[in-house]
Amino acid sequence: MMEHERLQAPMQQKTRHARLRLLIRKLNTERKSQAQKIDIICNNLISTQRDYIKALNRISFEADFYESLLASAGLDELLRVAAGLIERQMPDTIVSFLLRRSEHFEWHGCRTENLTSPPTGPFKKHIEEDLATNICTLNETCNMADAYPFEYQQETEGFGKHSVIAVPLTIEKVCAGAILIWHSEESRPKQEQLADIGAVSSGLAKAIAISQVLSIAKN
């Protein structure tokens, strides 16, 4: 009997080692699975926190933007203040405005404290009535090629190194004009920045409309 047990001992030990290895593999698999779940949770928390910070920054920008507009007297000052605020949000850009006035469009170039006046000369060559109409018809953030692809592609020399992005000024889904953002390739606005401008564009459009009505009433 002792001899039999002595012969079985190595086999039992081998079995125990096999079970132990299997258990270790299971534990390692579970540990990796738990680590992956923790990574996912952490990434989700980081993403949520990032989105929360972006939302707070946008709310802060909107509050500062509208508060600054309240002190504006008249349309010209309103546009000058708005252009300065947008340029501060998007450094190395130049902002101007295209406004719809019943049967025609008006171009408003602005000067700000930190930037020179926009290159109105080259732009006037291209901002024909049909181009302005296309911008308002699109009624969404676009570049000049989106608004006027064929003609714009044929005549881009006047713009030099500048590109233009148009952000619509809408009142109850009707386009009343556009914010025109001049930029170089190096200073092209990010989508987040354009979203910030889009968040205040409707309020700005209403402020512009009120200023226009008051201007007409004074005259």
Report residue 145 CA to chain centroid gap: 19
DSSP state of 141: S
Q: Give the per-residue pLDDT at 123.
A: 53
Q: Would you tell me the crossing angle of helices 2-70 and 191-218 to the nearest 10 degrees?
A: 20
Of 123, 115, 215, give the one whose Cα is nearest residue 165.
123
Residue 142: the pLDDT is 85
- Which residue type occupies 52? Y
What single-letter amino acid sits at 85?
L
Write out the DSSP string of 148-194.
SHHHHHH--GGGTT-EEEEEEEEETTEEEEEEEEEE-STTPPPHHHH
Residues 79, 108: contact at Cβ < 8 Å? yes
Q: Which two three-digit tokens encode residue 196?
A: 């910030």
User: What are the strands of the beta sheet with 174-183, ordered from one edge?
Assistant: 104-109, 94-101, 174-183, 163-171, 142-143
What's the pLDDT tens digit per position in 33-50?
887 887 788 777 777 777
Torsion of CA 162, 132, 66, 84, to 10 degrees: 30
Task: State residue 127's pLDDT score.
Answer: 55
Question: Is the pLDDT at 113 greater than 60, yes or no?
Answer: no
Helix axes 75-89, 2-70, angle to 10 degrees: 160
Instruction: Output the pLDDT for position 219.
Output: 59
166-196 per-position pLDDT tens digit: 899 998 888 888 998 888 877 888 888 899 9
DSSP conformation letters of 62-122 = HHHHHHHHHT--SHHHHHHHHHHHHHHHSTT-EEEEEEEETTEEEEEE---SSSPPP-HHH
pLDDT of residue 9: 59
Helix (H) / strand (E) containing 127? none
